[in-house]
Every structure is written in C-alpha cells, then in structure tokens.
Structure 1
Amino acid sequence: GNEVLLRNDIPEEALIEYIREVKKRNWRPVSTSETWAEWLKHPKLVDEVDFIAVHILPYWEGIAADDAVDYIFDRYHDVQKAYPNKPVIITEIGWPSDGQPAKHATASVSNQAKVLREFLNRADQEKVTYYIVEAFDQPWKQSIEGSAGAYWGIFNADRIAKYPMDGDVLTLPNWEDWATGAAIFSIVLMGLFLFTRRSLKLPGVVFFGVITNLAASTIFWSVSVGAQQYQTPLTIVFWVILILMQILAAVILMIESLEIAEVIWHRKGARTFQPLTPGAEFKYPKVSLHLPIHNEPPAMVRKTLEALAKVDYPHLEVLVMDNNTKDPAIWEPVRDDCERLGPMFRFFHLENWPGFKAGAINHALEQTAPDAEIIAVIDSDYILSPDWLNSMVPYFDNENVGFVQSPQDYRDRHQSTFKNICYWEYAGFFNIGMVQRNEYNAIIQHGTMTMIRKSALLEVGKWAEWCICEDSELGLRLYEAGYDSVYVKDSFGRGLMPDTFSGYMTQRFRWVYGAMQIIKGHWRSFLPTKKSPLTAAQRYYFVAGWLPWFSDALALLFTCTSLLLTAIIAYDPIHSELPVNAFLLPTIGLFSFKILRGLWLYQARVPCSVWQSLGAALSGLSLTHTVAKGTIQGLFTSGKPFMRTPKYEKQGPLFAGLMIIRQEVLLLVLLGLAIAEMATIEHFDNLSGRLWISVLSVQAVPYVATLITLLISIAPSYSKKGKKLAEELDEV
C-alpha cells in the first residue's frame, strides 16, 4: 500500500489483514508506506510489518526549504524513538522544483537543490537508508497532486539534469537569453514611442526608458515562467490569453508614463494658443451659433439665451433647435424668449426628428444664413463670456484651421461635495490631456464651446447621425480632410454638471460608447500606413487617448477571472494554482501607476489642492465599471441611442442609488467573499496567497470608490441645505 491510511482508502484492520496475507505467501520482508504521522498513530500496524517505510515530505507540510532537512531528520528520529526495535527506511524524500507554494514551502530549482544536497550529505553521515522521490519529472501527476506534482524529479521529463550536485544553481539557467530579449524588446518599444518626441528632455527619456524596461522585463519574466512549465493545450491557451492581456497592460502603462514624461519634461511647444485681440482692420466673419435643446428646463435655457444676447460680436445669429420635446409647456417658453430677444434669435421646434442632437444641428445647417462662415455650438446650459467669439474667431484667418475649441467648464461646483470632485475630475482632461494633444494638432472636439469653419463642415459631410459622440467624430473627419485645430485652455463659458451620480455615469457611458463607435468607423485611419490621412502623432493620440478605457475593460475581465479562479481554489486548493505572476502587472502595477500618474499630473497642471486631486481620483475610479461596460458594449453593439445628460435632476433615495450601481455592489460583495475565503485556506497561507489577496483587494477598490461616490452624491438630500436645494430645483 501507499499512504492508504492517510487517504482513508481502507481501515487499519483491513490493511493488517492484507499484510498478513502477503506474509503467508512471501518470504521477503513486508511493509506498507505511510507518512511519519500515520506511523506514530498506528502502533498496531507497526507490530505487523517487518520494517517501517516512512514518507517525510516537508513541502506538503508547508515547511520552508531552510528548515526542511532538520525537519526530515527530526521526524525520522521521532519514528525511531517510538519504535526502537523496528528498522526505519525513508521511502520518500524530496522537494519539487516548480509548482504552487504550500504554506511556507516554495517550489523552485534552487530550493530543490538546497534540500537534496543537504539531505544527501547528512544521510550519508547518519547512514540512513532512503529513496529520493523521484528520478524524473512526471507531468501526468499534475492531475492528482496539483501543479507541484509534475516537478519532483532530479531530471526533467526530457532526461536532462536540472542542476549539478555542487556549485551554483540557477533558477533560470538561460537567464541571459531572456534578459537580452527583454532589453531588445524595451529598446524597440522606446524607439517606436520616442521617434517623434524630439522635444522631450533627457530626464523624461530616462524616466520613460525605465518604465518601458520594467514593463518589458515583467512580460518576459511571465513568459519564462510559462516556458519552464509542462503545459497542456488548455493551459497553453490560458497562458497565451494572460500574456496578451499583460502586453496590453504594458502598452497602457507606457502610454501613461509617456504622458507623464511629456507633461513634466516637455520643452514648450509652438502650438500654445492664447485668446486674441483683433485689430481695427479685422473683418468679422458672420457666425451662426447653434443651440440644440431637448426637454430642457425653460428657466435654465433662458439664462443661456440672455447671456448670448450680451455677446460682443457684430455679425451673429443664434439658431435654437428644439429636438422632439413633447410637452409644449417646456418648449413654448423658449420660443417666446427667442421672440422677446429680437431677430438675432431664431427658434425651430422639430417633431419626430431623426438623428438625435446631430440630426437637429444638421437641420440648423440648412437654416443657417448663406453668408455665415463660422458655425458655433454650445450646450443649452452654458452661460457664455461676452468676448468668446471676439477672442477665438480670428484664428480662422488661417485657412488651414478647421475648428477652434475652448474647454468645457462648470459654474455649480460649490453646490455639493459630489459636484466638487466631479469638477476636478473633468478639469484634469482639459488642463492635461487637451493641452498635450494640442501640441500635436490632435485634440478631441467637443460639442460645446466649439467653432467650425462652415465650408469645412459641409465638405466632410456635416454631423454624423450614426454616432452618439458626433462632435468627436466630426473633429476626426476634419483632421482626415487635412484641417488643423486650435485649442485655447482659457474658459469662456460655464455649464452645469450632472446633478446625480446616475447622470454622471450616463454621460461617461455615452462618451465611451461613442468613442468605440468612432474606432469601428475609422479604424483604417489609425493604421500606420501611408494611406492613412492622419499624421503619426494624430494616430498615436487618438489611440492612446482611448486606450486607458480599454484598460478598465481589461480590469473587469481580470476581476471576473480572479473570482472564477478563487472559486476553483476554494473547491480544490491542493490541485489548484494561482497565476499570481500574470496578474501583478495588469492589476497592482497598473492600478498603482494610474493613481501615481493622476496625482503627479494634477499637481503639475491642474490648479487644485492635493485633497481636490484625491477627490478627482475617487470620482474617476468610481466610473471604472461604467467605462468597462461602455467599452465592451461599444465594441460589440452599435444601436445605442443618444443619451442626454439631464439637468436639474432630483436625487433619489439610497435604495434607488444602490439599484443603479447594483452590478458594482455585486462585484464588491463577491470580491469581499473571495478575500475572506482566501484568508481561511490554510494551503495558501504563504506569500502567493497573500499576493492573491492583494490582487483581489486592489480589484475591489474601484467598486468601493463607486459606493463612496454614490453616498457622497446622495448625502445632501438628507441635510437641510440639500433639501432646500431640492425645493429650488422643483421651482425650476
């Protein structure tokens, strides 16, 4: 028998009967193999055998390699002392060279060599009879003993010795080849990224080089781990998927590190634009300002119209396009305001009009004055500065300029803590990303505070009614047509932020979903070919700007995979393996770097305090799941309608808010249960298990952020000040 008592295959009495039967038919010494603990528990069995065949395998008992040999001989002597009249033979002693850790025992080539070398020397001194388990690796044992079961051999499955019995032992014998490959790979990546970055200062190049080398080394390390293991077709597929996901995570890491380098160590570029003051000889082109509205509070739109009436510009018309508002009590007051403000304002009410916002402003194009040269668009909640047009229109004197963009800004950040953290989250993009993209003529066009050359807009085919982010899509088509853009980061208009967390999520989902539509519709333009109408920098910034949203989708996939693996581990911890190596970069590494990047860049470019930066980070993290859903749905579906961001929306109760984030709450609960379960599994009471708990904890952070942000958003509705604000909203 072999450990039949340990596995409870048969009772002791039955085993004794088998031994007696064999003794009757055989003259040779008879015994059975059991672990040292089983022999100590069964003295009756000892009486029946001719010698004690003991298994002492400290790895399975979670003993560290440094203590393993002492442990072996202590247990050997325990058995000898308990049964001094019986010969004791160690029939199994060994250590695996790879596989999942068992408590404090780590399987590695160096540990196997250490344990066996020390044991062989001491066994020779004490004249111990022993059998090493085993001569050759046996990959088939993974199915019954877990991943470590395949690696107990002194020789690998190809009959090649893993290490000499003296001298140095290398865990990765051909490490020079792997290191060389990682170095070459990182140099190639650096070259691809830095080829057009001649304005980057040396510290920025060094910083980016270090991050790139770390990312490349991590990928090669993960590949080397998989290459040294015995793989099945299923595990090969698993490893390939994980490595590809790691590569995507590494690319995202490099893009974000390059952004840091460019922001912190970039020489001031030639494309820094300021508001202009036109001279006396400047000929003001006519501007047609389009104001699309749908179901908007009349009092809010009235403020927008009155601000437009004060705009200091000599040749201006304002076209208000009411798009499919059903209730006359909502759109008729806006019509009356337009009539009151004079002939500069024209109002159109469109019933059952297709194309959402894009359809409405395309109709506005048809109604635009023939002599208008510039089209301006703002949202219905924006209050303009009177000098916006005067300060920005002169840029169109350059015939290459297709559109001019001003930042989105907001006037209601002091209403609540929720709006304050949202405000600074928005501010990051317009003070960091847009400024940097402007250096390379690659900004994202926004559907408010934007101006477009009318002839260019007509040339590229008007606004795209198939895309729910028609503004960004138009900007890309203008670039494809060879036009330039201008971005001035000075604020000339302020609107309103979403009043609720639900509105905040809906707005971000629309932006992400629309970006995926654009990628699918224009993917050929992003290819690095001569046929692409975009410059290399434009291709890079459009892809790089949207790639972090893919990282949120990647994080969701890793989270679901982690939960599945944890469930498998809880069901069968002995035969399960934790692929911690493959999860470190895409989870802990990417998350930590994302937080560091945000705080660093905010302090460099955004005029806010550290606490406001942390608030922005919290609100950004709270949208992780929303962004992931928008990315995945945007890639695989195409029929989502335009989602308007509601204004003056009343905050719902806590339960309603929890229902809105029910998916995030469910994932948070599952991750919490997974962490609790891992903490109770004795087999993973080791570094590997603790790292896995860290991975699960990091994956839970965005969902915690979602819950906290929701609570922040609804807190005012439970205060006197918040209730007063709600009453004011009712009046609006």
Structure 2
Amino acid sequence: MLAPYGCVAMRAVVAVLIFVTAVHAGLWGLLRESQPAPDFRGVLPSVSYAPFDGTGHPDVDNIPTTERIRSDLKTLAPMSKAIRLYSSTGGVELVPPIANEVGLKVTVGAWIDKNLDRNEREMQAAIELSKRNNNVNGIVVGNETIYRGEQKVEDLIKLIQRVKGQVNVPVTTGEIWNIWIEHPELASSVDFIAAHILPYWEGFSDKQAVDQALIIYQKLRDAFPGKRIVIAEFGWPSAGYNLKKAMPGPFEQAVTLRNFVHRAEAVGMEYNIVEAIDQPWKFFEGGVGPYWGILNASREPKFNWTGPVVNKDYWKLATVALLVGFLLSTPIFRLTRPTMMQALLLSAAANGVGAWVATVFAYWTGHYFVWGSAFALTLGLTLLVPLVLIAMARIEEIAAIAFGRGPRRLWKAPEASADMAALPAAAAPSEIKSLAATDAADAPLSPAAEPEPAAAPLPPKVSIHIPAYFEPPEMLKQTLDALARLDYPNFECVVIINNTPDPAFTQPIQDHCRELGERFKFINAEKVQGFKAGALRIAMERTAADAEIIGIIDADYVVTPNWLKDLVPAFDDPRVGLVQAPQEHRDGDRSLMHYIMNGEYAGFFDIGMVQRNEVNGIIVHGTMCLIRRAAMDMAGGWSSDTICEDSDLGLEIMEHGWLTHYTNTRYGFGLLPDTYEAFKKQRHRWAYGGFQIIKKHWRRFMPGASRLTPDQRREFALGWLNWLGAESIGVVVALLNLIWVPIVAFADIAIPDKILTLPIIASFVVTLMHFLVLYRLRVAIKVPQMLGAMIAAMSVQWTVSRAVAQGLITEHLAFARTSKGGLTMMSVEFQAFWEAVIGVLLLVGAAVLLASNAYREIHEIYIFAGVLVLQSLPFLAAVAIAILENSRINSFAFWRNTGIRTAELIGLRPVGLPGAIPARQPVGSELPKDGVR
C-alpha cells in the first residue's frame, strides 16, 4: 500500500493531469474555427476537369481509364452543368462521349506549346471531338500560351482561325486577364474572351480575392463592350504556401469560392471554377499546384456549400492531440514525490507535443507526396522525433530542478567520530621522525610504564593510483605533495608513468616519491599496451594486498586534506561500490577562454551529475573517484576496448548491482586544457569513447541482461541521446538544410513546412532555457561566465558529431592525452576551420533564401532562413573562441587596463570590473574550508 503522503501526492498528480488535459481540450474547443459564408444550393455552370489520378505526369504514364472517367463524371454531374478540358489527346479524348452519358456539356481544350507536331495532333483531335459529340459547347485553343511565352500572339491567332474555320462551335483561347487587355487583337480573333482571374497568383488575400475578380471582370467589360466574357478560371488553393498576402487553406478556399459564386450569380457572370478534383501530379506548380480542386484526390468534397465553414476532421485531430498528450504525461507517475508545479510543466509540455503530433497527422493525411517529397518529410520527421525527445528530457530536468524536491542522495561527509578525530593526520616521513623523537624525549622516566590504551582501528586502506604520460614534473609534484598532506592514516600512492622514455619526465618524480616515503610507489613502465587502462592495470598489480579501496586521480589534481576522510565512510555500506567527487580547476584565471571553459565544465558536475545521482546512474569520470576493490574485480577491472575506461568501468560496476554515490563538494582541483585545440580533443575523446560504450553495453540494457534498474537504463539512454544524439542530429539537420537551400530558392518546390522548422526553433529555445535556468539555479558562477560557458558548450557541436560519425565507422582510435600544465605549443592552424566554413555557408544560405523570397514573401521561407541562422550559432561559437584564443581580449590584463584607461579618459574614478574567479590553491588554509564553490 502507498503511504498516506504517497496517496495524497498521487491524487495531486492525477488532478494536475486531468486539469492540463481539460485545459488542452478547452483550447481546442476555443480555437475551433467556424466562418460564415453565403449559401449556394444551385449547380455550378462549369468546372475544370482533368481525368488523371495520382502523381504521375500525363505525358509519361498517367493515362486515364474509361472506368475512372465515368466514375468522376457521375460524381461531378450533380454539382456542375459543364466541364472544361485542357487537352484532347492522351486519354482525355475519352471524356466528351462519357460526359454526354451523364448530361454534362464539355468545353474542349487543345494544348498548345512549342511542339509543332503535338500542336497539330491536339487541334485535329479537338476538331474531331466537336464534330462527333453534340455536347461540346466550345473549343479553347491553348491555355496561357502567350503568358508562358510559347507562342507569339500573331501565331496563336492563326491557330485559332484555323480551328474556327473547321468547327461550328465558339472558339477562343485561355489567358490571364491582363493579356487580353494588352492584346486587343487577340480579343478580336476569338468568339468570346476566356479570361483567367486567379487572385492568389497576384498575391491578394482571400479577403480581397472576390472584390478583385469583380473589379477585373468590370475592366474587361469596359475594355470590350458587347463581347461575351467568360471567367474561364477562378479558384483558390486549399493547401500549400502563401504568396505575399495570399494564404491558401481549406477555410480560405471554401469562403472565397462561396463568396465568389454568390456574387457572380448576382451579376450574371459566366464562370468556370478551377478545378473539379485535386491534381497531385501538379507538384511542379509550387506548393499549391495539387490543391485547387473542390474535391480531393479521393473524390470527396472538401467543404459544404451551405452552413458555416468548419473543419470536418477537427475533433479527430483534437482527439489525437489529447491522447498523445495524455500518454506522454503518464511517465510523471514514475517520478518520486513530484510536486504539482513539476507535474504541471511536464504535462503541459507533453500536451504541446501532442498538439504537434496532431498537426503532423493533419499535414500527412491532407497533402499529396511524390516519392522525393515523401522521403524528405519522412527523413525530417525521423530526425525530429529524437530532437523532440531530447527537448522533453530537458524540460523534465528543468521541472525537477526548478519545481521539484531537492537532491536526496548527495553524499555529505558524516561528522567525524571520536576515534577518527583522535587519529593523527598523515605527515611526511621526516615530520613523523621529528614527532617520534619529541615524544620519546618528553616520556616520563619511570621504571614501570603505564599501560598504553588500545590503538584505534585503522579505517579501510586506500590505494591511490596516478597514471601519467609526459606530464610536467613540477605539476605532478604538486599532486603528490597534496596527497602527502591527506588527513587519513591508511593509504598508499602508486604513481605509474607509462611510455615516457625521456628521463626529464620520470627521474624527478622517482626522486620525489623517495623523499615522500614508503607510501609512495613509483613505476616507470615502457611499451604499455592499452593506453591509460593498461597503465592502471599495472598499478593494480603493485597495489597492496590489504587495500580495500582504489582511488584514481589525474596527474594534475591537487586534492584537499579531507578527501578520503570525508568520502571513505560511504563504503561502510557494503553495497556501495563507487564514490565520485566532481572535477574542479584552479587555473580559470589564465585567460578569458579558460574562464568560460571552467564555467562550462561546472554545469556537468553541478547539474547533470547531481540529477543522475538521484537514480544511482552517475557517469564515472575517473579522476577524484574511489572504487571498492571487490566491485572492480567483479566488473573485470580496467578495460582497454574503449578510450573512456573510467566511464566504462563505472557502468560495468552498476550493471553488477553495486550502489554509487556522488558528492558535489570539491575535493580536488586540476588544470584546464592548455588550448582550445586541447579542449576540443578532450571532448572528442569523451564523445568517441561514449559511443564505444554504447556499442559495447547496449545489449545489457535489455530486460534481464544486467542488474541495471529501469531508472538507470532510462537515465543512461536519455543521457547519451541528450549529449551525443543532440549534437549529431543538430549537425545532420543543419547539413541537410544547407543542401535543401538551392532546391527551395531556385526550384520553387519542396519548401520545408512549419511542422519541420518550428520544432527546430522550439528545440533551440528549450535548450537555451535549459542552460540558462539550470545554471542560475545550480551553478554558482556569475552571469558573464555563464554566457561564456554557453558559447563554449555550443562550440563543440561539430567536434562531438565528428566523434560519433567516427564511432560509426571505426572500432578504435588512439587515446589522445589532454595537454595541460602550460607546456603545449599553440597550433598554427586555425582551430575552427570547418566550423567557419559550415557557419558561413548557413548564413549565406539564409541570405539567398531571403533574396529569392523578396517577391514571393513566403512565410515558410522566412522561418527556414531563421532556422539556418540559429543552426549557424554553434559553428560560429567555435569560430569566436578560436579567434578569442589568439586575440588580446583573451587576457584579463587587457580588460583591466582598458577599464582604467576608459575611466581616466572620461574623468571618472576607475571602477572594479568583473574578473576571473580567483585561482584556488588547494593547500592548507588557502582552500575554502568546505571545499564548495
């Protein structure tokens, strides 16, 4: 049974979910669109009809059948008195006799272009159809032939006259309205004017369309008094992209056509609606090409001609949104004691995703796709799904930290027991001798010495291993000196320098270990296989037999005296296999670049690790780590099949069921990478090693394959997706969008819809909020350092994605040491070359889109251009840091001097400017007492 508090919390969560679902449903009800429009209960005078089906082009393989034509015309007969055709060959010649069966008049069309042979066939076929079918009421020779520039006016007049001379029905040509006004001679050659008025293509809004059509109709009547005028095409698309103010859509189509028909009937206008049935094969006419029909491709009416205009499928979409939102909200029940605000934010985000899914569903079912666009949409959605999952995971972390309960599993050092407090702090051998001599001198000279009290039991022995490879000797000496000052009586230190033949790196350390005493063992190993893991295996062979705990620190880490005293008590619980302390750095004041790098590292240890610790799912990062020897042996020890041997071993230990603990108290202070190149190489190693770990361990995430709990599996899976997946998918999407730019800009097709671009923007906003909110709540750094840390975090997107790509195609890369200690020569190569190339191309792509859209003003293109700008930011962040590293502004002295000079110039007293975090010197009293940032 649940505890009473648990029942109350569960009821509160259920209430929140019901409330959010109700609000979501209410919003759907509130936003349900219903527009008035004039009723039309009559029969349309004419509609354009093309008997083609599917996406195949009529000139290639889309040949209509008698059955299809007969079925279509039976559907159209109750709706229209006549149909207009655009061709007389390729199967269209079957239409007039079948139309006669159902009582439909037919205006025959002869397609005219630059192909003279085809033109002849079309005209002869049209002439024959008019002679053989008494329901043919006219012939239209050519359709927008002058507008397309495929015939000269005088040549088209000759063709019209040829046809007129052989038939007894009216003959004309179909042209947009201004062509008739510009060429009155064309009007003189035809029996009636067949004018196309399509306000969409002129950029008029749906609210202006009917007025514009009537204005143009009157212009034509004024220009050609006494001439019969037929509006041979009027219509509005039900889907696609806007053109200036013209916005296509199902509501816009229904209201526009009903208004037009009402007003056209009132003035006695002859008109033809384009078109009867959607034509998916017209995808080459831009986004709106397939969507001009009053029936969809399944021959179903798109709207009603009477009553309010509504979306018939609206409540189906609402149901999809609500169901998806509720299902995505159910993981809230697995949370431990969630707060109401936490549940509210998570449920609101889940319902937001539900609304997006419903929009995708509507788009998918309401659009027609050729193979290429279907593939592009499928690929886009496939890449967006993990982005949405990542955004959801980040929102969950925001909710947990901002509105949830505080961390409960963070390890805090227990109060020192009386026995532990009585133990002397570890001292150097010379100090021990001095103390021993003093004690002997002060001892009373009594023949019968008093019995000594029983010695306090020693705590577990710790063997501290320090692998080193070409590390600066002075830096490593600082590390060893700090270990000698540990306030812990029972430890040893094993220093192993591997594959470093230069005695300048080894001899000083060997001598220093001798000075520090027998606790410090020195190993100089040549030809070690397996990189750092191989060296640590050798250290294990030299470890004292009675050592119960293995400590790992990097060669640059200076530890505080209370490290072991505070953390070893965690192993009093026999289930605990590992305790991890955070990394910290003592050289953040070297430069502005190091300052922001230090801030970037802090986020991982103060945010991500603290949250993962709540489910016993931390990532082991080697240095400042204590491991129970028995747990290490059970997990198989250090492995060389990944270059992140520490994270690999930590996961192995968890898979065997051991508990882990994390503390956010700083017990060790290392050095930052010397250069931006070293920073990127370190991140590349971590990402590549992380991908190796995924390939090695994924089978153990299957149910029953290990002792990992569901929460641990979920935390690792989302963690990998959140880090490796987010960066890699971000780069892939950016590159695909870059490839898509010329298609959008110059081919006038396949513009990414909002369902693909807006989620990218939303994901970016969530990522930004995740960084800013969590840093402000959990990481004790100033705002300028936080903003710099954000730039540093973005700057490694390309680096991480390259590592993942290499992980897909390779099994092993050499371990790359992170250069620290100030001995690294800065590379002469620009460290963000490819980032600069991609970032500039993305910005150029955005500029090209904006330039190509100057006339069309398509909203989706503006959004797409904005997405490209956002996607360029991580690449440009890398460029900014690479430039910063080699500039004067990277020096804090520059900023101090600039501040002083500026104050002097304007006559003000110099004021203190924000500077770097003071370098921590973790020795003795210079350390913060609690070791906390």
TM over 0.5: yes
Match of residue 644 from structure 1 = 817
Does residue 1:709 correspond to 2:847, yes or no? no
Pick the aligned partner of 1:386 from 535, 551, 561. Answer: 561
Structure 1 residue 582 displacement after superposition: 1.7
Matched-pair contact (CA < 8 Å) for 2:751–2:860:
no
Does residue 1:414 correspond to 2:592, yes or no? no
1:460-471 equivalences in 2 (<5 Å): 460-471=635-646
CA gap of 1:237–1:679, structure 2 versus 1, over 3 A, is: closer
Q: State which drifts further: 485-494 or 50-59.
A: 50-59
Does residue 1:154 correspond to 2:154, yes or no? no
Does residue 1:514 correspond to 2:685, yes or no? no
Q: Which residue identity does 2:275 align to in structure 1? A: E
Measure, in 2, the Cα distance between the counterparts of 1:215 and 1:509.
32
Match of residue 699 from structure 2 = 524
Structure 1 residue 616 displacement after superposition: 1.6
Pick the aligned partner of 1:272 from 404, 407, 410. Answer: 410
Match of residue 714 from structure 2 = 540
Does residue 1:135 correspond to 2:255, yes or no? no
Does residue 1:671 correspond to 2:842, yes or no? yes
Q: Which residue identity does 2:394 align to in structure 1? A: E
1:674-685 equivalences in 2 (<5 Å): 674-682=845-853, 684-685=856-857
CA gap of 1:404–1:429, structure 2 versus 1, over 3 A, is: same
Q: Which residue identity does 1:157 align to in structure 2? A: A
Pick the aligned partner of 1:693 from 865, 875, 897. Answer: 865
Match of residue 516 from structure 2 = 341
Does residue 1:164 correspond to 2:304, yes or no? yes
Measure, in 2, the Cα distance between the counterparts of 1:488 and 1:719.
33
1:182-193 equivalences in 2 (<5 Å): 182-191=321-330, 193=331
Match of residue 656 from structure 1 = 829
CA gap of 1:170–1:651, structure 2 versus 1, over 3 A, is: farther
Match of residue 332 from structure 2 = 194
Measure, in 2, the Cα distance between the counterparts of 1:23 and 1:267.
86
The one of the two structures with greater contact order (alpha-carbon pairs below 8 A, sep at least 6) is 1
Q: Secondary structure at the match of 2:411?
A: coil
Q: Which residue identity does 1:148 align to in structure 2? A: V
Match of residue 171 from structure 2 = 30
Measure, in 1, the Cα distance between the counterparts of 2:671 and 2:192.
86
Structure 1 residue 431 displacement after superposition: 1.0
Measure, in 2, the Cα distance between the counterparts of 1:256 and 1:13.
68
Cα offsets for 1:471-521 (capped at 9, x unmatched):
111111111111111111110110011122111111111111111111111
Q: Which residue identity does 2:346 align to in structure 1? A: F
Measure, in 2, the Cα distance between the counterparts of 1:552 and 1:459.
34
The structure whose Rg is larger is: 2
Match of residue 664 from structure 2 = 489
Cα offsets for 1:548-571 (capped at 9, x unmatched):
120221111211221122111122
Cα offsets for 1:243-288 (capped at 9, x unmatched):
2323212211211111112112233454232123442056322211
Does residue 1:442 correspond to 2:617, yes or no? yes
CA gap of 1:457–1:720, structure 2 versus 1, over 3 A, is: closer
Match of residue 556 from structure 1 = 731
CA gap of 1:335–1:415, structure 2 versus 1, over 3 A, is: same
Pick the aligned partner of 1:223 from 341, 361, 373. Answer: 361
Match of residue 614 from structure 1 = 787
Measure, in 2, the Cα distance between the counterparts of 1:717 and 1:300.
27
Measure, in 1, the Cα distance between the counterparts of 2:687 and 2:845.
30
Structure 1 residue 530 displacement after superposition: 3.8
Q: Which residue identity does 1:69 align to in structure 2? A: V
CA gap of 1:651–1:548, structure 2 versus 1, over 3 A, is: farther
Cα offsets for 1:224-247 (capped at 9, x unmatched):
211111233443333333223232
Matched-pair contact (CA < 8 Å) for 1:216–1:250:
no
Match of residue 247 from structure 1 = 385
Measure, in 2, the Cα distance between the counterparts of 1:399 and 1:547.
33
Measure, in 2, the Cα distance between the counterparts of 1:245 and 1:460.
36
Q: Which residue identity does 2:317 align to in structure 1? A: W
1:343-358 equivalences in 2 (<5 Å): 343-358=518-533
Match of residue 728 from structure 1 = none
Matched-pair contact (CA < 8 Å) for 1:204–1:265:
yes
Pick the aligned partner of 1:92 from 225, 230, 233. Answer: 233
Q: Secondary structure at the match of 1:147?
A: coil
**Ranges in structure 2 where 5+ consecutive residues have no aligned partner:** 1-141, 420-455, 895-933
Matched-pair contact (CA < 8 Å) for 2:591–2:890:
no
Match of residue 177 from structure 1 = 316
Measure, in 1, the Cα distance between the counterparts of 2:841 and 2:763.
22
Pick the aligned partner of 1:39 from 151, 163, 180. Answer: 180
Matched-pair contact (CA < 8 Å) for 1:651–1:714:
no
**Ranges in structure 1 where 5+ consecutive residues have no aligned partner:** 723-732
Match of residue 758 from structure 2 = 584
Structure 1 residue 650 displacement after superposition: 4.7
Cα offsets for 1:382-416 (capped at 9, x unmatched):
11111111111121111111011110000011121
Percentage identity across aligned positions? 37
Structure 1 residue 456 displacement after superposition: 1.4
Q: State which drifts further: 52-61 or 233-242.
A: 233-242
CA gap of 1:270–1:600, structure 2 versus 1, over 3 A, is: closer
Measure, in 1, the Cα distance between the counterparts of 2:144 and 2:801.
50
Match of residue 726 from structure 1 = none
Cα offsets for 1:521-549 (capped at 9, x unmatched):
1112323x244410111112111222112
Q: Which residue identity does 2:687 align to in structure 1? A: V
Structure 1 residue 719 displacement after superposition: 6.0
Match of residue 324 from structure 1 = 499
Structure 1 residue 168 displacement after superposition: 2.6
Structure 1 residue 669 displacement after superposition: 1.5
Cα offsets for 1:24-65 (capped at 9, x unmatched):
323433221111122222233223223221111111222211
Aligned length: 714
Pick the aligned partner of 1:451 from 617, 626, 649. Answer: 626
Matched-pair contact (CA < 8 Å) for 2:497–2:523:
yes
CA gap of 1:293–1:152, structure 2 versus 1, over 3 A, is: same
Match of residue 221 from structure 2 = 80
Structure 1 residue 716 displacement after superposition: 4.3
Measure, in 2, the Cα distance between the counterparts of 1:187 and 1:635.
36
Match of residue 367 from structure 1 = 542
Matched-pair contact (CA < 8 Å) for 1:500–1:649:
no
Measure, in 1, the Cα distance between the counterparts of 2:357 and 2:689.
32
TM-score of the superposition, structure 2-length normalised?
Answer: 0.74
Cα offsets for 1:635-683 (capped at 9, x unmatched):
4432222121111255647x722xx322211111211111111111245
Matched-pair contact (CA < 8 Å) for 2:737–2:868:
yes
1:556-575 equivalences in 2 (<5 Å): 556-573=731-748, 575=749
Match of residue 904 from structure 2 = none
TM-score of the superposition, structure 1-length normalised?
Answer: 0.94
Matched-pair contact (CA < 8 Å) for 1:95–1:112:
yes
Q: Which residue identity does 1:273 align to in structure 2? A: W
Measure, in 2, the Cα distance between the counterparts of 1:176 and 1:492.
59
Pick the aligned partner of 2:471 from 284, 296, 304. Answer: 296
TM-align CA RMSD = 2.1
Measure, in 1, the Cα distance between the counterparts of 2:604 and 2:814.
25
Structure 1 residue 601 displacement after superposition: 1.0
Q: Secondary structure at the match of 1:33?
A: strand
Q: State which drifts further: 619-628 or 329-338.
A: 329-338
Q: Secondary structure at the match of 1:239?
A: helix
Matched-pair contact (CA < 8 Å) for 2:486–2:562:
yes
